[in-house]
Amino acid sequence: FLKGRWPTAFLAITGIQALINLAFEAYVFGKFQLSLGAYITDPQVQSQYKTIPTFLTLFIFGFLYELIIVLDALRMKNTIQIIGVCIANLALLVYAALQIEQIQVALGILEVNGALEPGTTSAMLWSDIKAYLIASPVIIAVTTIAMVYVAWKLYQQFAWDILKNIGADYRMKKRFLHYQIYIALLKFDFFFFLGFIIQFVVVVAQKTDPEFALTIATIPITIAILIAAAFFTQRENKPGMVVVIILYFGGLSYFIFKLFRIYEPSHAQFYMAVRRSLTAFAVITILLIIMTIINAIICMHNFGAGLKAHLMAPRRDEEKTDANSFGMTDVKSPMQNRMTID
């Protein structure tokens, strides 16, 4: 599936971006850890201890997950998912930009509370890592421009496959387009949901707080819901889809609640260390859930119109997988692999 210039270029751009930015984040993390002094037990200081490690963890997860999504999109020749990767990269750009001020503030708080190594000031440490923190969003911005250009080339390259395998049935193509968008949204829902949860659990929640255990429990539950959503859509199971949509509204309510909680005066201090990044993730997740609900309803409306036969059709020999396996994928047939936007 990497045969050809543009698929290889898209994967290479994504991989190089990941390597460079993770190297920068690792350097910042290393300098931070080596500059810490006596451990301070004050809750406000403890949350600042976790700021930089949390950023590093999220970037590792974000870039690796993006690589997996890219490989999946190229293998399936899924233009929708490739476009989604470009948009997700913009979200990583925002996150990289937000970390600059949050890390600077964290260093200042650590210095004031005597948490840095004797002889090390926040200004000294900031001067060592500032260039790397600023370079990170710049690199992501340049990479995103390159990704958009290559994505356009991939769109043109995959168009011939569409013509050969799909035909000119506009209504069926439109139904399939909504299906592709829906499945792609599920994949990105998971990323932004987990990104929010990681920040909340590591920096904000206390292990003795009941919400800590409940939040951890939402991770496997969410994975199960997303897999079920893809399964029910593919099988055109209306009762299952209704249940999934109801659960979406539950998730939407949760993130709206957390967004207000971040700025609620009685709780704002607990979120201060990662308030901006949590806000960004919460807003993006809310928008994604709304889009997911809309597309789920559209897909359910299309049930019984003939799309299921295409989705359930056997795949070509070179693309066969275990018939008993099921993943959160949008492809079951060559027709499905090669659909793009009209």
Which CATH number covers residue 123?
A: 1.20.140
Q: For residue range 290-339, what is the model confidence (pLDDT) as tens digits? A: 999 999 999 999 888 777 776 776 554 444 443 333 344 444 444 444 44
In one-letter notation, the amino acid at residue 213 is A
Residue 250, CB half-sphere, CA atoms under 13 Å: how many? Answer: 10
Range of the domain at 277: 169-342
pLDDT at 341: 46
Q: What is the mean pLDDT of the chain?
A: 83
Q: For residue range 126-182, what is the model confidence (pLDDT) as tens digits? A: 999 999 999 999 999 999 999 999 999 988 877 666 555 555 567 877 888 888 899
195 SS3 class: helix
In terms of domains, do 161 and 174 share one? no
In terms of domains, do 283 and 159 share one? no
Whether pTM exceeds 0.85: no
In terms of domains, do 86 and 198 share one? no
Scan for tokens 């569409």, then name that residue.
162
User: Looking at the 3D structure of the chain, how many domains does it have?
Assistant: 2
CB under 8 Å to 3, separation ≥6 — which residues?
none
In terms of domains, do 327 and 300 share one? yes
Q: For residue range 41-97, what is the model confidence (pLDDT) as tens digits? A: 777 777 778 778 888 888 888 999 999 999 998 888 888 899 999 999 999 999 899
The Cα 236–Cα 320 span in angstroms is 22
Task: Report percent pLDDT > 70 for the chain.
Answer: 85
Asked if residue 203 lies in contact with residue 43, where contact means CB atoms within 8 angstroms, the answer is no
In terms of domains, do 249 and 153 share one? no
In terms of domains, do 229 and 323 share one? yes
- Among the candidates 133, 165, 197, a domain finishes at 165
Would you say the C-alpha torsion 171, 174, 180, 183 has a positive or negative sign? negative
pLDDT at 142: 96
Backbone angles phi, psi at 313, to 5 degrees: -65, 145
pLDDT at 326: 38
Q: For residue range 249-295, what is the model confidence (pLDDT) as tens digits? A: 999 999 999 888 888 887 777 777 778 888 888 999 999 999 999 99
In terms of domains, do 141 and 182 share one? no
Would you say the C-alpha torsion 138, 141, 146, 150 has a positive or negative sign? positive
Q: For residue range 185-226, what is the model confidence (pLDDT) as tens digits? A: 999 999 999 888 888 887 776 666 777 788 888 889 999 999
Alpha carbon 138 to chain centroid, angstroms: 19
Asked if residue 191 lies in contact with residue 198, where contact means CB atoms within 8 angstroms, the answer is no
In terms of domains, do 157 and 180 share one? no
- Among the candidates 125, 145, 165, a domain finishes at 165
The neighbouring-strand residues paired with 116 are: 36
pLDDT at 205: 66
In terms of domains, do 7 and 144 share one? yes
pLDDT at 151: 93
The Cα 184–Cα 17 span in angstroms is 22
The Cα 233–Cα 211 span in angstroms is 32
Q: Which two tokens stand for residue 242?
A: 């209704």
- Among the candidates 105, 136, 165, a domain finishes at 165
pLDDT at 14 over 80: yes
In one-letter notation, the amino acid at residue 163 is L
Task: Encode 44-67: b = buried (16+ Cβ within 10 Å), e = exposed.
Answer: ebebbbbbbebbbbbbeebbebbb
Max Cα-Cα span within the chain: 71
In terms of domains, do 215 and 106 share one? no
In terms of domains, do 160 and 207 share one? no
Asked if residue 203 lies in contact with residue 273, where contact means CB atoms within 8 angstroms, the answer is yes
In terms of domains, do 143 and 190 share one? no
pLDDT at 306: 75
pLDDT at 93: 93
Q: In 3D, which of 287, 278, 280 has the Cα closest to residue 248?
A: 287
